[in-house]
Amino acid sequence: MSRPFKHEVAALNIRINDKDRRDYPKLIKQIADLKRGVRVLGKTNLAISYFDEISLRGIILKYDELPAADEWFNTENFDGASLEDLKEIVIPDKLKPNYARFYFALDPNLHVIAFQTYGRSKGLSTLAVEKYFKAAVKFEEITDAFGQVDADIIADHGAIDRILNLDNLKELEIIIRPPNSDDIGETLAQIIEDRLREQNAEEYRERLKTKGKKHIEPNERTRALAHVAGQNGEVKAKNLEGGAQVSYNSDSSPLKEMRTTAENGQDLTMFNILSRFIFSKVGIARERQKSASS
C-alpha cells in the first residue's frame, strides 16, 4: 500500500494602512517583479518568482545561499577540504541549491494570502513566510508606492480561545499592529487606531499580570482584542502548570488546512481546494469579530 501524500495550507494577513493606496494585487505584483530574495533562516532565502493579477495565483521560491566562507568536507580522506580541493569547486553565483517552489493565492477583499506549507514532500515554515513578507513590504520601492504595510501570520482561532481559557493564567500580552477597520468593525478599530495615533506608535500592546494564588480571567473586551491580535499581531501568555510557568504564543499555532491524498501529482488541485477553505474560515471569523464589536 502506497503512503498518503500530504497537502497543507496556511494564511497571512497583509494590510496597506493608507486606504487611498489599497491595491493588493498591484502590491504583490510589484514585489514579484523586483525578484528580490530575503534571507529568512540560516542559509534559506525566499522570493516571489511569479504572480498573475488575473488569476491571483503565484509562486514562492525557497533556495539556499551558500556563504563563500563556508567550510567544505572531503569524503575521500574524511577531513576538511584543502585549498587544492576548493579550487575544483566552480559554482556560478546565479545557481542556488535546495530549490523548492510553493503555490500561493491572494484574496484581495480579505487581503489574505493563502500559501502552501507542505507539498511535493517539501515543507515551508509559516514563520519564514511571515519574515519574508515583513521584509518585502519594507523594500524602498514598496513603501514609496504603498506607504506602511503590515503582514502577520493568521493564528488558529481555536488556539486563541485555548490560551484565553488556560486555568492558571499568570501573564497575558496582546500585540496588535494596525488592522483594517472593515475586518473588525469601526468601533474596535477606531479605539486601536486612536491609541496608536495619540502615542505616535506603530504597535499596540496590552499586558496583564498577576501573582500569588490569583489567575487572570479575561473579560469580553480582552477576548475581542486577543482575536484581533490573532490576525494582526500575536498573543503571548504564561500559565502556571505543576509549579512552573509555561509559555504560550499564538504564532506557534497558525491557522492551517490539511488533507492527504492517495495519489501524487495533485498539488495544484489540492492547493486550490484548501485555499478556498482557509479563505472561508478567515471570512467567517471576521464577520464574528465585527458582530461582537458592534
pTM of the complete model: 0.87
Judge whether 51 lies within some domain. Answer: yes
Residue 269 lies in a domain: no
Whether residue 97 sits in one domain with residue 81: yes
Residue 68 located in a structural domain = yes
Residues 178, 116 share a domain: no
> Which pLDDT tens digits describe the chain residue by residue (294 residues)?
467 888 999 999 999 989 999 999 999 999 999 999 999 998 899 999 999 999 999 999 999 887 666 776 677 777 777 777 767 777 667 777 788 999 999 999 999 999 999 987 789 999 999 999 999 999 999 999 999 999 999 999 899 999 999 999 999 999 998 877 666 666 676 777 777 777 777 888 999 999 888 999 999 989 989 998 999 999 999 999 998 999 999 999 999 999 988 777 688 999 999 999 999 999 998 888 777 665
172 in the same domain as 131: no
Tally of domains in the chain: 2
- Indicate if 28 and 137 belong to the same structural domain: yes
Measured between alpha carbons, how far is residue 97 from residues 125, 195, 245 in Å? 18, 47, 42
> Is 273 inside a domain boundary?
no
- Same domain, yes or no, for 144 and 215? no
Domain boundary among 124, 150, 176: 150
The reply to whether 136 and 162 lie within a common domain is no
Examine the domain organization and report whether 63 and 25 are in the same domain: yes
Domain end call among 123, 150, 177: 150
Range of the domain at 82: 17-150
Q: Examine the domain organization and report whether 87 and 211 are in the same domain.
A: no
Domain termination site, one of 118, 135, 150:
150
Domain-embedded: residue 293:
no
Residues 182 and 231 reside in one and the same domain:
yes
> Does residue 114 form part of some domain?
yes
User: Do 63 and 127 share a domain, yes or no?
Assistant: yes
| pLDDT for the residue 181 | 66
- Residues 164 and 135 both lie in one domain: no
Is 281 inside any structural domain?
no
Evaluate whether residue 127 is within a structural domain. Answer: yes
Is residue 92 located within the same domain as residue 48? Answer: yes
